[in-house]
Structure 1
Amino acid sequence: MEKVDRKLNIFFLPHFSTSHLIPMVDTARLFVAHGGVAATIVTTPHNARLFQDSLDCDSESRGDIKVHTVKMPSAEVGLPQGIENIGQCSTPRLIGQLFKAIALLQKPIEQLIRENRPDCIVSDMFFPWSVEIAREINAPRILFYPSNAFYHSVSHSLNLHAPHDKVQSDTENFLIPYLPDQIEMTRSQLQDHLKTKTLYGQLINMIKDTEASELWHNFY
């Protein structure tokens, strides 16, 4: 009987932001281009439309990249129908509703993963819960964090040493420690979650808690 080589089945879970979504789609293309990989991108209908045409025109990945769409739970959180991407949110309130809707997608996506049991999961930084479902099915989880090395160095230093807590005002300069050059900032330049406790900040902390034990790589 002729042996048929099975392709590795890899699930890609992109965040619902174009700056995260498109790089992850390109990453799926890179995986498929090496051969022996079948990719499934899990997203919502609106987000799928942002890249589906480019996949259809890509002869190299055609057939090896599938898109599985899940329904956005808009009504459950009071989010207007059709808003499924951060780029569509014109107010902080809409962004908050979008994040709540994304959180509600955890269970249906986990069930999809259980049913398909992919060989590997590549998930965005905003899906820290994917660590546990990957462990459940005994598959590696690769953390997708679409930022450059300088950003990560600055962010790590700010979170570890908190130099912004030692200045007296939002306009006073402080030095970011342990960088190879002298880089200064002010509190007014920081993201809100670094200055005060926010739900977004709690999510970022959850993300950082998963980094130490997971396979982490920057694809830039």
Structure 2
Amino acid sequence: MSTDSNDNLHLHILFFPLMAQGHMLPTLDMAKLLAARGVKSTIITTPLNAPLFTKAITDVNFQNSPSKIILRLVEFPTKQAGLPDGLENLDLVSGPDTHCKFFHALTLLKHTTEEILAELRPHAFIADTFFTWATDLASKFGIPRIVFHGTSFISMCCMESLERFQPYKSVDSDSEPFVLPGNLPDEIKLTRLQIPDHLRLGLVNDFTKLLESAREAGKRSYGMVVNSFYELEPAYADHYRKVLGKKAWHIGPVSLCNKNDSEKARRGKQAGIDEHECLKWLASKKPGSVVYMCFGTNASFSASQLREIATGLAASGQNFIWVVRKAKNNDGEEEWLPEGYEKRVEEKGLIIRGWAPQVLILDHEAVGGFVTHCGWNSVLEGVSAGLPMVTWPIFAEQFYNEKLITEVLRTGVTVGAKKWIRLVGDYVKSEQIERAVKEIMIGERSEEMRSRAKAVGEMARRAVEEGGSSYSDLGNLIQELKSGLS
């Protein structure tokens, strides 16, 4: 237990994460870290999202944690926003119309949140970046609003450069590389095809207005908590805080608060495989011989792309676990799976349909590489496990995170995705998949990447231990919030 825990028993922080797996899980981890330091946390969520939190919160509150985590439920305004009943999570959104309505629903939560703030009177409000009204609401109650974005320092620096200097307007074609200006620590090159579509196409709509409103509210907020650690991207942490002048605390990787197998296994949704069956399969493989492939909660590949993946994995000759979130067709068949595929690869491959206990798998000694979409939670989990990665960015900030892995840290290789496409990503051929998987799993270069990745993984674990950079920065945040109490 931290020495500062008893001093912080009166500190109470209110969290409101975006209703999406990739935002709720790190928020839960943050609350667990604060509870271990004696800070009381209340997390706001909706009834259908509550199960993601309840078991972990119950465990924390029944253990000898110096403080508690409380769950506060609010009704999600599905009807008012024109959404179908039961759609309370961004991961369930498929089309652009529903996407727009979902984010409109977030604006309707302001009044309910104001009532909770008036009732609970917390000392700080850590709200997701997409709750654009949170800064004004916190100001009304005289407390700091801290932003949680759920991304990396490098991606925030890249986004700032793109928005401020608009270098993509000075090239002649979508595929011509340009360097991100603004004195970034490294020469980061992108193409117009690799940046968000609203920038590339100059779109102005309700979502782009929301993004602008979120940026503006962020500038007026007290600061930002970042799920990263200083040793991972020191130059970008410095650039963000010193050059861009933004207040931020690095407190990650927050997923490392899940210490034992049972905590790792139940992190997130119900897994599509029994954890013991998964561990038994992994135990039958040699150390470092399995490549794990997963593309987060939002990617939606076509049947033909999944067949390319199946072919590439088999051709690589490597043991693999492949997580697939593809529904069966109307006839109850899986048209994406080549006929007889699972039988042919049963000695070498395990396909998990639906949700996988990712942290549990990545931390297993049999796993030697990770094929990832470069969502920040996944990147950090791969980094923490000390694994080389194949990068396959799809959309959001994933092309910036790819640069950190392949060019700054040099702990991975790109599969060759060249185009930012919301949810579905660029089409990648089986030969590219085969090449990239082999590159991180076998040969001299893979050993170099593995060695660097292991060193970074050790830094990650040290960062969250007492005296580590993230442990200390979380302590700095707690002390700063304490000093503001009257």
Tell me the distance in 2 between the aligned counterparts of 1:176 and 1:206: 24
- 2:195 maps to which residue? 190
- 1:34 maps to which residue? 37
Q: How much does 1:169 deviate?
A: 2.6
Question: Does the 8 Å CA contact 1:10/1:122 hold for their aligned counterparts?
Answer: yes
Tell me the distance in 1 between the aligned counterparts of 2:22 and 2:64: 23
Tell me the distance in 2 between the aligned counterparts of 1:206 and 1:61: 38
- 1:15 maps to which residue? 18
- 1:212 maps to which residue? 219
Q: How much does 1:120 deviate?
A: 1.1
Tell me the distance in 2 between the aligned counterparts of 1:131 and 1:167: 37
Tell me the distance in 1 between the aligned counterparts of 2:59 and 2:130: 29
Question: Does the 8 Å CA contact 1:193/1:200 hold for their aligned counterparts?
Answer: no
1:45 and 2:73 aligned: no
Q: Which of 178, 186, 193 is the equivalent residue of 1:174?
A: 178
Tell me the distance in 1 between the aligned counterparts of 2:134 and 2:20: 18
Q: How much does 1:98 deviate?
A: 1.2
Tell me the distance in 2 between the aligned counterparts of 1:60 and 1:13: 25
1:202 and 2:209 aligned: yes
Tell me the distance in 2 between the aligned counterparts of 1:93 and 1:62: 45
Equivalent residue runs for 1:1-220 within 5 Å: 7-35=10-38, 37-58=39-60, 59-61=63-65, 64-177=68-181, 178-195=183-200, 196=202, 197-213=204-220, 214-220=222-228
Q: TM-score, normalised by structure 2?
A: 0.42
- 2:294 maps to which residue? none
Larger radius of gyration: 2
Tell me the distance in 2 between the aligned counterparts of 1:15 and 1:106: 13
The count of aligned residue pairs is: 215
Q: How much does 1:217 deviate?
A: 2.9
Question: Which letter maps to 2:116?
Answer: L
- 2:302 maps to which residue? none
Question: Does the 8 Å CA contact 1:194/1:201 hold for their aligned counterparts?
Answer: no
Which stretches of structure 1, 4 residues or more, deviate above 3 A after TM superposition?
60-63
Tell me the distance in 1 between the aligned counterparts of 2:195 and 2:53: 32
Tell me the distance in 2 between the aligned counterparts of 1:21 and 1:156: 25
The verdict on how the C-alpha distance between 1:62 and 1:69 changes in structure 2, with shifts beyond 3 A counting, is farther
Tell me the distance in 2 between the aligned counterparts of 1:217 and 1:63: 20
| Percent of aligned pairs with the same amino acid | 33
The verdict on how the C-alpha distance between 1:6 and 1:56 changes in structure 2, with shifts beyond 3 A counting, is closer
- RMSD of the TM alignment (CA)? 1.9
The verdict on how the C-alpha distance between 1:138 and 1:78 changes in structure 2, with shifts beyond 3 A counting, is same
SS in 2 for 1:76: helix
Q: How much does 1:62 deviate?
A: 9.1
Q: How much does 1:104 deviate?
A: 0.9
Segments of 5+ residues of structure 1 without an aligned counterpart are none
Q: TM-score, normalised by structure 1?
A: 0.90
Segments of 5+ residues of structure 2 without an aligned counterpart are 1-7, 229-486
Q: How much does 1:164 deviate?
A: 0.7
Tell me which of the two structures has the higher relative contact order, counting C-alpha pairs closer than 8 angstroms and 6 or more residues apart. Answer: 1
**For each residue in 1:130-152, what CA deviation from the matched residue of structure 2 results, as whole angstroms up to 9, or x when unmatched?**
11111111112211121111111
**For each residue in 1:46-67, what CA deviation from the matched residue of structure 2 results, as whole angstroms up to 9, or x when unmatched?**
1221222222233255971110
Q: How much does 1:193 deviate?
A: 2.5
Question: Does the 8 Å CA contact 2:129/2:218 hold for their aligned counterparts?
Answer: no
